[in-house]
Structure 1
């Protein structure tokens, strides 16, 4: 037989085999799945990612936010009423907003200069960081009632280690990272730092380290979670840099750091902790928030009243939404269904509700003076790493 003829016969046979496979493929796949024992995804992912001891297993090594899908509420919070908690730094209060009506339904007196409302690791408590009051005010998100303040010095911001063992207080003026018992807030270890203004952070995919921004000296720290030790430090390559919010990419490979003076965000490889690249986003870049499908990140540009939209897969900005009439969008979070981005208006005594599909302003709500780190609660996720709500 001629070689060309042989090739044609072999090709025809391959095509027929492929067609036969396609015609019954789904049925055979179902049969095969039914004949095998169920896959232990937790065990599979634990083997893929060797996390910090005691940390819940990583659900998906390619998407750190896999537990944050729309409506996927933990049994711990599924019966909590949906609310937006707004700390008013100048008024020493927390405004409570009903997101269905866009109305303030309660105002809670707290300590002096509340900066952020922080969900606890176990999701059961909201901690109000009374920075100048040197206390944390607990709020029961089931009832909305505030409890007795807990003495904690200089609690500008608050995070939790991924295994739930420690709270990490960003003691900005004290120039310390203070590891405390996550429940009693008793000090376990105070770690002095040589930078100024520690304020925001996020943890690596495996939870073994976290990156911290130092607002007043324009620096970044890398901290070993288990050893509670600074293992890296670098100065950002911009004169007058003021790094703010920190978020990790869905694949866990990059950290993004908003910079309100450089007017954009720095992008750094967390493992290598080398020289960062920079992406301009808008004047006064401040807060970073991930969409419920892990596709985009919303960047609040406080100095120009806008929100930039960054697409992770395309690695670029794809949109910018300007608040009608301007404003000062600062800190906040995404609603449980992913449809609304909530941001405080730091210098306008207001809160903005923004449609995440169109960028349309849905509501502008008056609150107390100096609204800052508001928390949308509850949100999807198995546990909280702190700040205004970093859930995994």
Structure 2
């Protein structure tokens, strides 16, 4: 009898993670708490926190793998730290962090080609981590101050970064190298390099997004309170919008490309612009400050991290009304949306 009881208990313990994974919602919101140093997994249907996991010192941004099974978090510290925290989203547990070595100050994150792309502010670089080989397999210097946020096309042929203290945007694209001379036996020869175009925008260029049709890059300039609109093809500023967004932190397009959302830590509001007319159409109060923004893929809602108020506001994008609040921990900021495969 005791043997049967022990077997039953053991079987239930082994089955618990599987049952938990089966019952968990496929689509979830991931939100960081900078003060609690945790990553919260949130059910968007109930706005309730399902689980919290530790993610190390000063977590700022989070990204998830395409299968929704693993999350990566940048431990920033303005250059004091050099790790990416790793979280198992199926079993809700922290895994061993990735040591980035001299690539200190990781901040912006992107997922493309099965790899994690990250900025390293102190190293003035962009790096790439391959989870399959567990190594950093690519680095590109920007030569700009505070290379902060990053966007990478899914074909990995275009990269965009904002460089806060330089007030610039870097656009990087691969270029073929001329046929090299004969190499020594066993010596690999590169076939391509990266061409970088540095575009001067406004002061404090930080939050940015690429339009869904990839024709434009919109950049929020926190110190100037302006928004720079760049033509991706021409690699130049085509408009500077006097949007009155001092302290702008993040900027996001809605999935249909019709609207642009800009958060401000200084003004404590969310500014909404019409992307076609490039005019401000709404300013929505957000307490004492707004930071990270995530828009649901279906365009129904946006989630805005109100960092000073320890709150995540839920905005209905059809009515432009706040319809809920989420307590994900103190000092919420970086967020991402993930769907588990």
Match of 1:189 in 2: 138
- Cα distance in 1 for partners of 2:291, 2:163 equals 17
Work out whether 1:168 is the aligned partner of 2:122.
no
Mean Cα deviation higher: 131-140 or 106-115:
131-140
**2:266 touches 2:289 (CA, 8 Å); kept in 1?**
yes
* 1:166–1:138 distance in 2 versus 1, CA, 3 Å: closer
Work out whether 1:158 is the aligned partner of 2:112.
no
Larger relative strand fraction:
2
Gap runs ≥5 in structure 1:
1-76, 383-392
Alignment map for 1:37-48 (pairs within 5 Å): none
**1:170 touches 1:176 (CA, 8 Å); kept in 2?**
yes
Q: Describe the SS at the equivalent of 1:156.
A: strand
**TM-score, normalized by length of structure 2?**
0.76
Per-residue CA deviation, residues 88-135 of structure 1 (Å, 9 max, x unaligned), is 223321233333333334331121111111022554422122234532
Q: Which has the larger radius of gyration?
A: 1
Match of 1:70 in 2: none
* Cα RMSD, aligned residues only: 2.9
Match of 1:92 in 2: 37
* 1:106–1:204 distance in 2 versus 1, CA, 3 Å: closer
> What is the number of residues matched between the two proteins?
297
Gap runs ≥5 in structure 2:
1-21, 176-191
Q: Describe the SS at the equivalent of 1:372.
A: strand
**2:53 touches 2:92 (CA, 8 Å); kept in 1?**
no
Q: Which has the higher contact order (CA 8 A, sep 6+)?
A: 1
Match of 1:19 in 2: none
- Cα distance in 2 for partners of 1:182, 1:105 equals 26
* 1:315–1:235 distance in 2 versus 1, CA, 3 Å: closer
Cα offset for 1:257? 0.9
Work out whether 1:213 is the aligned partner of 2:162.
yes
Cα offset for 1:206? 6.9
Work out whether 1:376 is the aligned partner of 2:337.
yes
* 1:370–1:184 distance in 2 versus 1, CA, 3 Å: farther
- Cα distance in 2 for partners of 1:337, 1:194 equals 38
Match of 1:287 in 2: 250
**TM-score, normalized by length of structure 1?**
0.67
Per-residue CA deviation, residues 301-325 of structure 1 (Å, 9 max, x unaligned), is 33212222222333433322223xx
